A and B are shown apart, each in its own frame.
Chain A
Amino acid sequence: MKKSKLLMIVGSLLLLGLFVFPLWNITLEAPQYPIPLGMDIHINKFSDTHEFDIKNINLMNHYVGMQYIPENIPEFKIFPWVIGIMVVLGVTIGFIGNYKLFILWLILMCLLGTAGMYDFYLWEYDYGHNLNPKAIMNFKNPDGSVMGFQPPLFGTKYILNFTAHSYPRTGAYLMFVGLLMTFVAFFVGKKEAKE
């Protein structure tokens, strides 16, 4: 088999890691939490980093009027299908071996990924800003607006007594490697086509 085909097929298959490993993680550190609270985000569920973390995050957040982290969101139904279809598509394209299709697949994947991140941002924004008006504690920004508690999309941010970290996890890393492989597959395929 051609090197480019192999790269494309294996690269696509690496997306399957998302069905096993978490995509993203949000961790909250505070002095009272020497073992930080954490939530793993999978393509089909939220899960505790340590048992009962989500329950305890909810408990913390109720002071400032944040909603409970839902057990289910519509995205958990959609994401597994999208990833599944993209894997099938990627493998099929890999077998076909047309390098131009490789880059199309990658562009589509990047668009979907961006859409996913935007969706995640919208949820985070709502989660951090749509606060219960009867909240126990209200905080204002220096400019007088109501303080939000949106966790960072990527990176580290201080939110009151918490330090919030938001970073990719194993599933996402496997996906990045996969995407990189399909990108390389495109160039290798192009080179192979010239020969």
Chain B
Amino acid sequence: MKTIFKSLLAITVLSLVLSSCGNGGSEKGSQGALSSSAAEKVYVAPGEHDEFYAFVSGGFSGQLAVYGLPSGRLFKVIPVFSVDAEKAYGFNEETKPMLNTSHGFIPWDDSHHPDISQTAGELDGRYVFINGNNTPRIAKIDLTTFETTEIIEIPNSAGNHSSSFVTENTEYVVAGTRFSVPYPQKDMPIDEYKGNFKGALTFIAVDPKDGAMDIKFQIMMPGFNYDLSHPGRGDSHGWFFFTTYNTEEANSLLEVNASQNDKDFIAAINWKKIEEYVNNGGGTKAPAKYAHNVYDEETHAATTTMKDEIVIVNPSDVPGAIYFMPTPKSPHGCDVDPSGEYIVGSGKLAAELTIHSFSKMIKAIDEKKFDGDAYGIPILQYEATLAGSVKQPGLGPLHTEFDGKGNAYTTFFISSEVVKWKLGTWEVIDRKPTYYSVGHLMIPGGNSRKPFGKYVLAMNKITKDRYIPTGPEVTQSAQLYDISGDKMELLLDFPTIGEPHYAAGIPASILEANSKKIFKLEESKHKYVTKSEAEAKVVRDGNEVHIYMTMIRSHFAPDNIEGVQVGDKVYFHVTNLEQDYDVPHGIAMIGANTSELLIMPGQTETFIWEPKQIGVWPFYCTDFCSALHQEMQGYVRVSPKGSNVPLTYTLDGDAVDAE
């Protein structure tokens, strides 16, 4: 994705020269001084809370950042697809399984499109889903703990980009492949791509009770690139729409060879029909290897299950379920308005935005207004589904969101602006520059039946001179616009983590009350939990030493341990006994080849230390927990291998012999 944007940039200069609508979008002068009212609109006084949560993906950081709007303050970076030494995510024994895949443990991915779960087409605030682009995966973050609790790998997919969007009642979270690949994977010449590579569109069922994900079926589509997608809603509920590019099926120098066709497609998929087909025994059970990682809040630990089968649906086996709507020039964004009637295709190389009508699409299907087919999938006549187009809106349209008041907002990467236009009349109402090269934009609930159309957040790939410089690598950014009036007003410009690829926003009032404060110690089912200091102990099992340790203001129990030997594998199973809000403790051991642990009240985490040198080695609390934080420490005495120093441990001088 990044590469594409970067290469598109190369033609930015040219475009600006040629552009008839290059209306000074990036003129320095137009930035001006912000009016004081803009400052007031984003000022959230100390101790006050923001009105919205914004879950902004970290792009190539692999994580998901939590910001407040309108302040733009960063509250948390939720580790999802990349290890995070700060939180021990992917380092401690409990979360390592979260990053397992069929390719083994992968410490990184590229996180792209967060989407919040919905009920009846409205944000319900239970979960946020996000896709890993590189090694295809979908993650689920629980919005009571703001932690990643499930990751499912998507087999037969590559460049998991038209993901992870949810249907109106979170029946499915959908993952589409950007890169088509041989199916099944095999050793074959790349130039035999055409006709042989396939594009898998995956429908992952979400359990309405506990949110558990399970791949229901995978549609094996022609070998195009499936770029973005969105579900139908309202009347179009039951359908899913995917933009495609490279319908040329080129395999080399795509920037040229995949830009030849005048029109690519938006694939309209009647998933209800396919679901029914699969429920009636349709589809082929095919071998597939993929990991399903689940973090259990009761055991405070994740497990990996390797799955070996998937249901494959061949489009030609379900006639009437899939159609192609021709859409000009490599459409990127595929956005459905709150009513579900309009499907906006942003031909990123086109001079206009194309809007399809769902009702016209159904009519065209009924009247069989076809214009041939592609691999047996009917192509609808362009004019038959067309609702209208926004003429000369800007250059390089990418994504559209909606305010629920009949307006749409589209980003233009090349002309670096957000354009507001009216649904139905297709007239441009306003345009505002972004600094610079905007990708996605986000209105809280802007892709649901009920948008909260007060702000739009534009996410920029490039900032150049916008902030104090930090060497060659400078931050990317997000910009907040007030959209409550006729004209948009730029309010705030703030830096982000990684690449702020896309975001999902939700009123804070929906989430705040559900946010957990502590984990109840009594309810912990962690295998190595220590529920009181009296239960703390050290146990040797061959060359493994298991330390059942507790932490509470401001000491560890036990704090001194003797009898550990060089070559031992020492497990620190550490339980935070606190039951008070915002009293985490940390622990780090000198020379341990891993990260610290940062343990929330009532939680147990484990790290492994393999001492290599004799001596007396300290460990300490890494989170400034209390006035006596500096006193929160302990020692481990390491003796030579085979030493007869007995295994003992103490707290306040009372030595206890280990079992």
Contacts and interface: CB of A to CB of B under 8 A. Distances in A.
A63 interface: yes
Interface in B544-577: 552-553
Residue from B553, B580, B628 whose CB has the most chain A CB atoms within 10 Å = B580
B235 to A, nearest CB: 47
A52 B580 contact: yes
B259 interface: no
B579 A56 contact: yes
A59 B518 CA distance: 16
B553 A59 contact: yes
Interface string B277-319: 0000000000000000000000000000000000000000000
B18 interface: no
Interface string B578-609: 11110000000000000000000000000000
A136 interface: yes
B627 A63 contact: yes
A56 B521 CA distance: 14
A55 interface: yes
A39 to B, nearest CB: 15
B628 A56 contact: no
A51 B516 CA distance: 13
A138 to B, nearest CB: 14
A63 B553 CA distance: 9
Interface in B504-533: 518
Nearest to A136: B628
Interface string A31-45: 000010000000000
B624 to A, nearest CB: 13
A52 B628 contact: no
Interface string A54-69: 0110010001000000
A178 to B, nearest CB: 37
Interface residues of A, number: 9
A117 B552 CA distance: 35
Contacts of A136: 628
Residue from A51, A55, A59 whose CB has the most chain B CB atoms within 10 Å = A59
A63 B555 CA distance: 12
A35 B579 CA distance: 14
A59 B580 contact: yes
- Which DSSP category, helix, strand, loop or mixed, fits chain A's interface? mixed
B574 to A, nearest CB: 18
A56 B628 CA distance: 16
Nearest to B552: A59
Nearest to B628: A136
Nearest to A53: B580
Nearest to A56: B580
A63 B580 contact: no
A160 to B, nearest CB: 11
Contacts of A52: 518, 579-580
Nearest to B601: A52
Nearest to A35: B581
Interface in A150-188: none
A63 B628 contact: yes
Contacts of A56: 579-580
A58 to B, nearest CB: 11
A52 B579 CA distance: 6
Interface string A73-111: 000000000000000000000000000000000000000
Contacts of B578: 59
Contact of B579 (A55, A63, A137): A55
Contacts of A59: 552-553, 578, 580
Contacts of B628: 63, 136
A172 B627 CA distance: 38
B629 to A, nearest CB: 12
Contacts of A63: 627-628
A55 B583 CA distance: 13
B172 to A, nearest CB: 38
A51 B602 CA distance: 14
B578 to A, nearest CB: 8
A56 B553 CA distance: 10
A59 B578 CA distance: 9
A100 B74 CA distance: 72
A126 B580 CA distance: 26
Contacts of B581: 35
Contacts of B552: 59
Residue from B518, B552, B579, B627 whose CB has the most chain A CB atoms within 10 Å = B579
Contacts of A55: 579-580
Contacts of B518: 52
A78 to B, nearest CB: 31
A52 B628 CA distance: 21
A96 B578 CA distance: 56
Contacts of B579: 51-52, 55-56
A55 B581 CA distance: 12
A176 to B, nearest CB: 34
B105 to A, nearest CB: 37
Contacts of A51: 579
A60 to B, nearest CB: 9
Nearest to B631: A136
A52 B518 CA distance: 11
A35 B581 CA distance: 10
A107 B330 CA distance: 93
Contacts of B580: 52, 55-56, 59
A137 B552 CA distance: 17
A84 B63 CA distance: 62
A70 to B, nearest CB: 17
A117 to B, nearest CB: 31
B100 to A, nearest CB: 36
Nearest to B47: A34
A56 B578 CA distance: 8
A31 B90 CA distance: 35
A63 B518 CA distance: 23
B475 to A, nearest CB: 33
B391 to A, nearest CB: 55
Interface in B328-355: none
A101 B552 CA distance: 56
B336 to A, nearest CB: 42
B221 to A, nearest CB: 52
A149 to B, nearest CB: 16
A172 B553 CA distance: 35
Nearest to B627: A63
Interface in B609-659: 627-628
Interface string A135-154: 01100000000000000000
A76 B532 CA distance: 27
B274 to A, nearest CB: 48
A112 B627 CA distance: 43
Interface of B: 518, 552-553, 578-581, 627-628
17 contacts: A35-B581, A51-B579, A52-B518, A52-B579, A52-B580, A55-B579, A55-B580, A56-B579, A56-B580, A59-B552, A59-B553, A59-B578, A59-B580, A63-B627, A63-B628, A136-B628, A137-B627
Given A35-B581, A52-B518, A59-B553, 8 more contacts: A51-B579, A52-B579, A52-B580, A56-B580, A59-B552, A63-B627, A136-B628, A137-B627
Interface of A: 35, 51-52, 55-56, 59, 63, 136-137
List the 9 closest A-B pairs by CB distance, nearest first. A52-B579, A56-B580, A55-B579, A59-B553, A136-B628, A52-B580, A63-B627, A59-B552, A56-B579
